[in-house]
Structure 1
Amino acid sequence: MSNVASSPGLSGLPTGVGGYAVDGFGPLVRTFARLVGGHPGGGGALTVLRHGEPLVEIRVGDCAPGREWGPDTGSIVFSATKGIAATVIHRLADRGLIDYDAPVAAYWPEFAANGKERITVRQLLSHRAGLSGLPPIARGIDDVLDHRLMEERLAAAKPDHLLGIPTYHALTFGWLLAGLARAVTGRGMGELFRTEIAEPLGTDGIHLGAPPVGSTTTAAILLGNRLAPVGTTYVSLVLGRAYGFPGAPGAAARALFLPGLDAFLEGDIPPILATELPAGNGVCTATGLATLYSPLANEGMIAGRRFLSPCTVKAMRRIESYRLDHALFYIPMLWHMGYHSLPMPGARTGFGHIGMGGSFGWADPGTGISVGFVHNRLGIGSIGSDQLASAWVLPLVVRGARAAHRTTTRTDRRAA
């Protein structure tokens, strides 16, 4: 792996880091090398685009034991998948096939069951449908792996007492959007990820589940103890009893936990890769995620082509809810329709989606910058710090972009 950047970028990258970064991004690259590459096992990648042009494309570490992370290495990005699934719905809305304020049942008649006839697409996209709980629709991992069954059970389900209140639909979000999209197009989300996202964007770095045979993307192996501690008898018992707790603990347990679900991530080719889970099993490269968010940061345009109309992009940028989220222990997520903003430096004016473990995609319309960050470390011991990756990536991206702009301006003046 080369550790030297091409001119006119940084004169050198830290040992073990491959790829490219323009002048000004030294602090970002060094922090990436330390926090992502500074641990035995595992690796990751980071891409920053401005108006679709690469500023940073770096990678470090291993995607499997003894195999270095490459430019076409992807990783399971968990809930960052939600931003991709939401973009599918926005593409359909952009063509007039879906109205955000129409009832979901207008497109998916079965969804009207059990008092859901007035729930709108906008509510669905902003985690306010009252359908966040797993226990009412699934008994175990076999049910969860059957995505068509999950769509059918959610169509028949009764909303809970949190209908209308922001409550993170951790897993159900994806099946709800898939059921809506299937009702409108007759196609599943796996196919729509390809036809509505990857192909129009010209990228092979975005997949739902395992990349197909012939894809250039290879899925990194998850490294760490994954969620094994959650599967112990004692922890499962406690979390199972938490279903009935009032407030955030109960809402979180119902949205995030099901006995046996820890087995979802076991093995070099975990079961999660064998289904369509539009809330959590996207396999993406860093460049694939950054490419997805590039038109969202640039008025719907990518490489001179229109991906979304300015009107739709404006709707996507709007914050739908300022209320604290009940299933995320009252974190102020600032929900958009399928994405979120964060009240922290570098993230206030942008939007995107962060996944479990910290992988994320992001758009900043104010600067035209899009970001993709992926890695394959997943362990209970490190998940807290890894989850906060955006807290150092995004501020350093903003800082680097400003420094790169100043450098470019000085170079242009000298050339003139």
Structure 2
Amino acid sequence: MSAFEPVHEAFQAYCDADPTYSAQLAVHVGADRVVDCTGGGAMVPDSLLPVYSSSKGATAVVVALLVQRGQLDLDATVASYWPEFARAGKGSVTVRQLLSHQAGLVGVDGGFTWDELLAHAPLAERLAAQRPFWHPGQAFLYHALTIGTLADELVRRIDGRTVGEALRDDVTAMRGIEVWMGTPSSEDHRVVEAQPPSVDELTAFLAESPGALGGGDDITSQSLPPGNPMEILSRVNDVQLRRVGPPAAGALASARGLASLYASLRHEIGGQPRVLTDDTIAQMSQIQVSGIELGTGLEARFGVIFQAPCSPRWPFGTVRAFGHDGAGGSLAFCDPTHDLAFGYTVQRLPLPGGMDARAVELARVVRQCLR
């Protein structure tokens, strides 16, 4: 019997308990894939799903490569790479602050549209001109979509490519890793669309937990384009968004791809050398902010773009773990303590969104198997 049989049993139990459950799970220990589970619906191991904000982990890898090559200094000012960013009192904002949700640029005055997000330049220009919503470095709040635009503009200024192009050219294509940020039409036959909750489910949830999905006029409402929660959660199925692949939330991936991506940071995958050094990983995963987010009252913890575990909200690994979840329930991370890389996708969004509790439990079972 495999040492990881309890993981397979736990995954199968979820499939048996819920006929609507459709998910993938992949786990690497070192360079070796030790768990590979698929179940439910039309899902197969190489199905590609929208992974919402798990995209940010892939974006962080591209940024990490610039840091590793000496092209990007986390403690330099953003304006030293992007001069227009110095407007509206932002001349002293550092890259480290920008990429750890401290810059006060969760949105722009008057809001922004999906078209601006997908076109990139219009939103990047507005963010460069925007006065921060708080004094940078004095508080933090999750920049749900704008952190992708901000990181992408930095990468373009330094490297000349988009985040998606750099990810493909420098990391995924040569290693056969199925994480796409800008998914070509040739892969459409493998796409399994995300399933947001039904209108009835969403209505019942919001009746019990008003405000749980944002909205209103407070600072958190600035972080997303206007629209009702169903429209926003369904947007990842839009073909134009799939083609563009906004770095904050536009990637498509399989669980195998997510796990392989995180495994490749520390190990040879696909005959190619590891992507990052231990020093680069330490710089990117070191906790930059920890505590209660401005405006949400929720505890959060971030490195440079990467999420870090915190209980009870994000209990996905040990103190050295780093990765990112997605609103649709996906979860992907590396945990150097156990030499573990984990990827999980799920088709049906679990309310209120964010990492699926089943993924957290599966990760716990994996760690138990390693003891």
Q: TM-score range by the shorter chain?
A: 0.7 to 0.9
Contact 1:341 1:348 in 2 (8 A): no
Following superposition of structure 1 onto structure 2, how do residues 309-324 of structure 1 map, counting pairs within 5 Å?
309-324=277-292
Which residue of structure 1 aligns with residue 221 of structure 2?
253
Q: Distance in 2 between matches of 1:328 and 1:256?
A: 15
Which residue of structure 2 aligns with residue 89 of structure 1?
63
Q: Distance in 1 between matches of 2:189 and 2:78?
A: 34
Mark the CA change 1:161 to 1:267 in structure 2 (over 3 Å): closer, same or farther: closer
SS of 1:91's equivalent in the other structure is helix
Read off the aligned partner of 2:8 and give its amino acid letter: V
| Deviation of the 1:193 alpha carbon | 2.3
Counterpart check, 1:225 vs 2:189: no
Q: Distance in 2 between matches of 1:168 and 1:336?
A: 12
Which residue of structure 2 aligns with residue 170 of structure 1?
144
Q: Distance in 1 between matches of 2:199 and 2:238?
A: 15
Select the residue among 119, 122, 125 that pairs with 1:146. Answer: 119
Which residue of structure 1 aligns with residue 6 of structure 2?
27
SS of 2:302's equivalent in the other structure is coil
Q: Distance in 1 between matches of 2:236 and 2:45?
A: 24
Q: Distance in 1 between matches of 2:200 and 2:116?
A: 20
Once the two structures are superposed, what CA deviation does each residue of 1:94-113 show, in whole Å capped at 9, x if it has no partner? 11111110111111112112
Contact 2:96 2:304 in 1 (8 A): yes
Which residue of structure 2 aligns with residue 7 of structure 1?
none
Once the two structures are superposed, what CA deviation does each residue of 1:283-304 show, in whole Å capped at 9, x if it has no partner? 01111111111144x3x65457
Read off the aligned partner of 1:377 and give its amino acid letter: R
SS of 2:173's equivalent in the other structure is helix
Read off the aligned partner of 1:149 and give its amino acid letter: P
Once the two structures are superposed, what CA deviation does each residue of 1:139-184 show, in whole Å capped at 9, x if it has no partner? x333333222222221221111252112100111100000110111
Which residue of structure 2 aligns with residue 51 of structure 1?
30
Q: Distance in 1 between matches of 2:114 and 2:61?
A: 27
Once the two structures are superposed, what CA deviation does each residue of 1:103-147 show, in whole Å capped at 9, x if it has no partner? 111111121121111111111121111101355451x33333322
Which residue of structure 2 aligns with residue 198 of structure 1?
172
Which residue of structure 1 aligns with residue 133 of structure 2?
160
Which residue of structure 2 aligns with residue 391 of structure 1?
360
SS of 1:362's equivalent in the other structure is strand
Q: Which moves more between the two structures, 38-47 or 99-108? A: 38-47
Q: Which moves more between the two structures, 149-158 or 262-271? A: 262-271
Contact 1:72 1:217 in 2 (8 A): no
**TM-score calculated relative to the size of structure 1:** 0.77
Once the two structures are superposed, what CA deviation does each residue of 1:320-375 show, in whole Å capped at 9, x if it has no partner? 122322254321x2211111222346513211111113201111111211000011
Read off the aligned partner of 1:146 and give its amino acid letter: A
Q: Distance in 2 between matches of 1:81 and 1:189?
A: 11
Counterpart check, 1:337 vs 2:304: yes
Q: Distance in 1 between matches of 2:116 and 2:16?
A: 37
Q: Distance in 1 between matches of 2:6 and 2:220?
A: 36
Mark the CA change 1:367 to 1:267 in structure 2 (over 3 Å): closer, same or farther: closer
Residue identity over aligned pairs, in percent, reads 29
Which residue of structure 1 aligns with residue 155 of structure 2?
181
Select the residue among 80, 84, 97 that pairs with 2:54. Answer: 80
Segments of 5+ residues of structure 2 without an aligned counterpart are: none
| Deviation of the 1:313 alpha carbon | 1.5
Read off the aligned partner of 1:39 and give its amino acid letter: D
| Deviation of the 1:33 alpha carbon | 2.2
Mark the CA change 1:397 to 1:312 in structure 2 (over 3 Å): closer, same or farther: same
Q: Distance in 2 between matches of 1:385 and 1:109?
A: 35
SS of 1:322's equivalent in the other structure is strand
Q: Distance in 2 between matches of 1:241 and 1:378?
A: 19
Segments of 5+ residues of structure 1 without an aligned counterpart are: 1-9, 11-22, 63-67, 244-249, 403-416
Which residue of structure 1 aligns with residue 275 of structure 2?
307
**TM-score calculated relative to the size of structure 2:** 0.86
Read off the aligned partner of 1:156 and give its amino acid letter: A
Contact 1:290 1:362 in 2 (8 A): yes
